[in-house]
Amino acid sequence: MFHESNVGYIFASLGIEPKEIKKRSFFKKLFKKSAKNSHLPYLNSVNDFYKCSETFITSISKYSDNKCLSFHLYLEDTHEDFIKSIKEEKKDKYYIFPFFPQTASQLSLIAKFFSDNLESEKTDNFFWVKPYHLNGYFIRSIQKNINDIFKKNKLDQKETMFLYIANNDYISPLYLIECQTTCQKIIKAYQFVDGMLYYYPSNLQVLNDLEKNLRKNIIIIPISTIITDIELSKNLENLKNFLESQKKRVFYSKPLNESEFFIRSIVDIIEEKNFISNNMLLTQI
């Protein structure tokens, strides 16, 4: 495959907004405190998120000779080094890979930061990877994780349902459609599995439906971020405990930052060159 030599990659996220750390989880108001021995990943601080995302980006850099940078909107202490790197690197263009597969309206805030803090000759050559929620690599990576769960635990499809987790902080008509089509694409490979889409932190109707559902196995699948963040971890942990109180067997499909197949595939997704310009994202503010 031909690779452009003077291109850099930026991996963009919101990071963790300071107020998020102090928020009380919706589930904590309804259910008992999480069990100490939970097997779900839990990110305890901003440092955990930063370390997790940086490890992920370092893993990606093994598969590309291009410079890989990270940007986290709410981790302000990292901004100075990021801006310095962009100014010092003599790159013709940057391809920006967001941590959100579906369209997240907050990405326009990151585009605005770039526009406000970097010269236009730089940002004119910032190109964002379009939503990759239906990209074959993304779908197959999730399905591989699901297949591992089925194989390891010897689950019967007819006794299993998928609970897809998305974030209602990003909700817009386009985001809703993209989440729904992602779910439909994933479940296509499983003829007898049932599925529900759950928008955290609160979706009481889905909780009621889960209580009535007779299927005993539930596989929780995060679809709106490729790195599990602190707020999602809290909600998943409490959701798991609630479902187990309803006599369900709960399994967790690991986030894609832990999938070697997906990590290897990211460079290929970028090289498909399905982009939107930084200026086009600014029009969504």
Query: For residue 134, is pLDDT > 50?
Result: yes
Query: For residue 40, is pLDDT > 80?
Result: no
Res 147: pLDDT:
98
* All structural domains of the chain with their residue ranges: 7-133+260-282, 136-255
Round to whole Å and give the CA distance between 88 and 188. 47
Query: For residue 41, is pLDDT > 50?
Result: no
Categorize the per-residue pLDDT at 213 as very low, low, confident or very high, splitting at 50, 70 and 90: confident
On the 0-12 / 13-18 / 19+ scale of CB atoms within 10 A, 152 is exposed
* 7-133+260-282 against 136-255: fold identical: yes
Categorize the per-residue pLDDT at 207 as very low, low, confident or very high, splitting at 50, 70 and 90: confident
User: What are the angstrom distances between the C-alpha of 218 and each of 7, 38, 78, 214, 233?
Assistant: 43, 16, 38, 11, 17
Res 90: pLDDT:
85
Coil, helix or strand at residue 161: strand
Average pLDDT of the segment spanning 222-242: 82
Res 5: pLDDT:
67
Whether the Cβ atoms of residue 117 and residue 111 lie closer than 8 Å to each other: no
Pick the CATH number of 136-255 from 2.40.10.500, 3.40.50.1400, 3.40.50.300, 1.10.40.50: 3.40.50.1400
For 164-196, what is each residue's pLDDT tens digit?
998 877 678 889 999 999 999 999 999 999 999
Show the DSSP H helices in 107-157 as ranges.
107-117, 120-123, 136-153
Return the higher-pLDDT residue of 243 and 139. Answer: 139
Res 200: pLDDT:
78
Q: Which of 270, 265, 262 is nearest to 97 (CA)?
A: 270
Looking at the domain 7-133+260-282, which fold is it? Rossmann fold (3.40.50)
Return the higher-pLDDT residue of 204 and 55. Answer: 55
- The beta strands (E) that lie in the chain are given as 7-13, 67-72, 93-98, 126-129, 160-167, 194-200, 217-222, 249-252, 275-277
Q: Which pTM does this prediction carry?
A: 0.85
In the block, which residue shows the tokens 């598969």?
Answer: 63
Res 42: pLDDT:
42
Average pLDDT of the segment spanning 210-232: 87
For 69-113, what is each residue's pLDDT tens digit?
999 998 898 999 999 999 998 899 999 999 999 988 888 999 999
Most confident option among 18-22, 37-41, 150-154, 229-233: 150-154
